[in-house]
């Protein structure tokens, strides 16, 4: 079976495991507590700030007046919450990814290794500190890329392409390292990432599209803002499950690839380069040998 398909259905089946379901509640509780706490203390201030900013833009005022004239007076009141939710979504997505990486990934990796790869040797080619720095740096790059790409979201096809690509690249970078840090050596990790880069990026992009599912919940939360305290935890849990599925998919694919790499045996050593002895090398050009001058005969001895 194709490794991508095999690892996909295995990851989907593992999502139904009671251990995985229980682990998904930890990031959910953490992220809901953070989101609700920030909303409680900063929601009104954020709405006022966004409202003042929008009122200073003439194009927004003109658009709101036109919508009122055609019978849509609620647009002006609904726009500030929409903008706040739009700006908060990337932060919640990244927070959910990091929460899953810290709270769920080690346990889910151990579950996959125990049940499917119990004999796979651990060579500890990575470290927690390196993983933390990689996750932080990659997350900052992804957020910067999202901010830069926001103007292109106004083009209909690009809004369906750019965010999943960015989330896919972020997921690929973070989870590829974490899934191999414990079992693979540094050389094995580099070999696998080089050999399977396209497939791993494809897994990341596909799960990035799956991460767009909570957007429906966010849209409902904008239309029915009073239900946000209920809809926000639902959206965060969906994010958590999507990233948990991504972790399991990467774990099954990479550990299977690592097992196959080790079954191939170590790479053959490079052939030795042998040099011919110096006396056997032929000269580049023909050189006439230098002959010593004839010896001069000595005079006869004196009587």
Q: Residue 22 pLDDT > 90, yes or no?
A: no
| Pairwise CA distance, residues 4 & 252, whole Å | 9
Instruction: Please indicate whether residue 29 or residue 303 has the higher confidence score (pLDDT).
Output: 29
Q: What is the mean pLDDT of residues 266-278?
A: 54
Q: Per-residue DSSP letters for 242-303?
A: HHHHHHHHHHHHHHHHHHHHHHT-SPPPPPP-----GGGSPPSS--PPPPPPPPPPPPPPP-
Is 177:141 a contact under the CB 8 Å cutoff? Answer: no
**Pair 207, 168: CB distance under 8 Å:** yes
Helices (H) and strands (E) in the chain, counts: 12, 0
pLDDT for the residue numbered 219? 55
For residue 249, pLDDT over 90 is answered with yes
Strand locations in the chain (E): none
**Of the candidates 250, 244, 236, which has an alpha carbon nearest to the alpha carbon of residue 202?**
250
Radius of gyration of the chain (CA): 32
Phi-psi label, residue 138: left if phi above 0, alpha if psi -120 to 50, beta otherwise: alpha
- For the residues 19-30, what does the mean pLDDT come to? 82
Q: Which of the two residues, 278 and 254, has the higher pLDDT score?
A: 254
Report pTM: 0.70
pLDDT digits (tens, 9 = 90+) for 40-81: 788 788 888 887 887 777 776 777 677 667 766 666 666 777
Q: How far apart are CA 12 and CA 8, in angstroms?
A: 6
């Amino acid at each position: 079976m194709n490794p991508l398909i095999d690892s996909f259905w295995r990851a989907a089946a593992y999502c139904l495991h009671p251990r995985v379901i229980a682990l998904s509640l930890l990031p959910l509780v953490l992220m809901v507590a953070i989101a609700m706490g920030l909303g409680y203390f900063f929601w009104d201030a954020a709405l006022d700030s966004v409202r003042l900013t929008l009122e200073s833009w003439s194009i927004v005022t003109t658009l709101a007046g036109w919508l009122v004239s055609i019978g849509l007076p609620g647009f002006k009141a609904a726009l500030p919450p929409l903008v706040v939710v739009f700006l908060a979504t990337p932060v919640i997505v990244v927070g959910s990814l990091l929460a899953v990486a810290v709270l769920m990934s080690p346990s889910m990796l151990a579950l996959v290794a125990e049940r499917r790869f119990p004999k796979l040797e651990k060579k500890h080619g990575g470290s927690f500190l390196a993983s933390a720095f990689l996750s932080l740096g990659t997350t900052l790059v992804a957020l910067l890329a999202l901010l830069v790409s926001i103007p292109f979201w106004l083009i209909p096809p690009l809004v369906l392409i750019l965010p999943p690509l960015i989330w896919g690249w972020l997921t690929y970078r973070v989870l590829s390292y974490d899934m191999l840090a414990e079992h693979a050596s540094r050389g094995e990790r580099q070999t696998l990432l080089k050999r399977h880069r396209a497939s791993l990026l494809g897994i990341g992009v596909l799960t990035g599209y799956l991460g767009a599912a909570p957007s429906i919940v966010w849209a409902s939360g904008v239309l029915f803002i009073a239900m946000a305290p209920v809809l926000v935890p639902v959206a965060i849990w969906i994010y958590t499950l999507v990233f948990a599925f991504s972790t399991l998919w990467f774990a099954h694919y990479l550990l299977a690839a690592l097992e196959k790499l080790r079954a191939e045996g170590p790479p053959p050593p490079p052939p030795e380069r042998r040099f011919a002895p110096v006396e056997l090398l032929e000269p580049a050009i023909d050189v006439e040998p230098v002959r010593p001058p004839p010896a001069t005969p000595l005079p006869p001895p004196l009587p």
